[in-house]
């Protein structure tokens, strides 16, 4: 059996997230259907990150196992020929049998984009937020996120996990073409974690919280102490690192 590793980009606007759901459109389900169409095999596509409804990906990594003899160099072409236009396979290659898109990953990198001006062409990929912000305070708050910490306060409250530890390698606010970009890199992310962090950062930028409050929020380990979830459409999974 062949283990195929693919890099995928998708516009999450019309998807109900990555994970397969029988009653609605998902990225995982769409990819599985495409693989079935070119191989006639029923497979499971494993993704490195389970993006939420409306969240995009530029560098999602996935893998699946097939018996079909299709040439490695034709896999991406064949999949793109049957996939809808809001999902593209950037590359496809055979991987060792032990490779797993999710469990083999060392880090994921996300970006959240905020624009202070309404943008017609970027309306699905940037959150329009016109209010004045203290970006220096928001940048200072990034330092409180770095390191291996309990991020339960930024996780969907109904989520039950063995642990909520995440090792954040970097967190920074950038400016690109008049768009404010929050970039964060970690070994793993919890459900709604990045959106919860961005919403809390907004409260810091508006003066409702202080940069040092991040440490207090983390220590309390409950979702009610953090800020709101920023809208999903500003978030994009940029890269998975192995």
Say what the pLDDT of residue 158 is: 78
**Whether residue 140 sits in one domain with residue 81:** no
Question: Which residues, 6 or more positions from 31, have their beta carbon under 8 angstroms from its beta carbon?
Answer: 6, 8, 45, 62, 64, 79, 83, 87
Same domain, 176 and 89: no
- For tokens 């990198």, name the residue: 109
| pLDDT score of 160 | 87
Question: What is the reported pLDDT for 157?
Answer: 76
Q: Are residues 237 and 132 in the same domain?
A: yes
Q: What is the pLDDT along the chain (242 residues), one digit of tens a residue?
A: 999 999 999 999 999 999 999 999 999 999 999 999 999 999 999 999 999 999 999 999 999 999 999 999 999 999 999 999 999 999 999 999 999 999 999 999 999 999 999 989 899 999 999 999 999 999 999 999 999 999 999 998 778 899 999 999 999 999 999 999 999 999 999 999 999 999 999 999 999 999 999 999 999 999 999 999 999 999 999 999 99
Domain that holds residue 153: 107-241
Pick from 68, 95, 122: which residue ends a domain? 95
Same domain? 68 vs 120: no
What's the CA gap between 117 and 96, in Å, rounded? Answer: 47
Residue 102 lies in a domain: no
Question: With contact defined as beta carbons under 8 Å apart, do 10 and 61 qualify?
Answer: no
Q: What is the pTM of this model?
A: 0.96
Kindly give the interhelix angle for 193-205 and 213-220, rounded to the nearest 10 degrees: 140
> Number of folded domains in the chain?
2
Residues 32 and 138 in one domain: no
Token pair 């530890």: residue: 165
> Mind telling me the catalytic residues?
52
Residues 236, 118 share a domain: yes
Residue that is last in its domain, among 38, 61, 95: 95
Q: Which helix (H) or strand (E) covers residue 58, if one does? A: strand 56-66
Instruction: Classify 13 as helix, strand or coil.
Output: helix
Token digits of residue 69: 């003899």
146 lies in the same domain as 189: yes
What's the pLDDT at 159?
82
Provide the CATH number for the domain around residue 191: 3.30.70.660
Same domain, 113 and 219: yes
Structural contact between residues 182 and 230, judged by C-beta atoms closer than 8 angstroms? no
């Amino acid at each position: 059996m062949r283990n195929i590793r693919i890099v995928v980009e998708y516009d999450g606007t019309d998807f109900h997230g990555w994970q397969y759901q029988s009653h609605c459109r998902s990225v995982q389900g769409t990819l599985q259907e495409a693989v079935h169409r070119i191989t006639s095999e029923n497979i499971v596509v494993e993704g490195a990150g389970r993006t939420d409804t409306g969240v995009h990906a530029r560098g999602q990594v996935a893998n699946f196992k097939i018996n079909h003899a299709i040439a490695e160099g034709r896999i991406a072409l064949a999949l793109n020929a049957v996939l809808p236009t809001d999902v593209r396979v950037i590359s496809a290659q055979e991987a060792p049998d032990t490779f797993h898109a999710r469990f083999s990953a060392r880090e994921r990198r996300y970006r959240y984009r905020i624009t202070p001006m309404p943008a017609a062409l970027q309306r699905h990929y940037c959150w329009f937020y016109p209010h004045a912000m203290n970006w220096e305070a928001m940048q200072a708050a990034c330092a409180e996120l770095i390191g291996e910490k309990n991020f339960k306060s930024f996780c969907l409250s109904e989520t039950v996990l063995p642990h909520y530890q995440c090792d954040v390698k970097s967190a920074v606010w950038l400016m690109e073409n008049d768009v404010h970009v929050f970039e964060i890199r970690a070994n793993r992310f919890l459900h709604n974690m990045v959106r919860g962090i961005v919403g809390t950062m907004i409260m810091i930028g508006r003066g409702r919280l202080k940069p040092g409050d991040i440490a207090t929020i983390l220590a309390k380990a409950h979702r009610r102490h953090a800020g709101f979830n920023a809208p999903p459409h500003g978030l994009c999974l940029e890269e998975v690192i192995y």
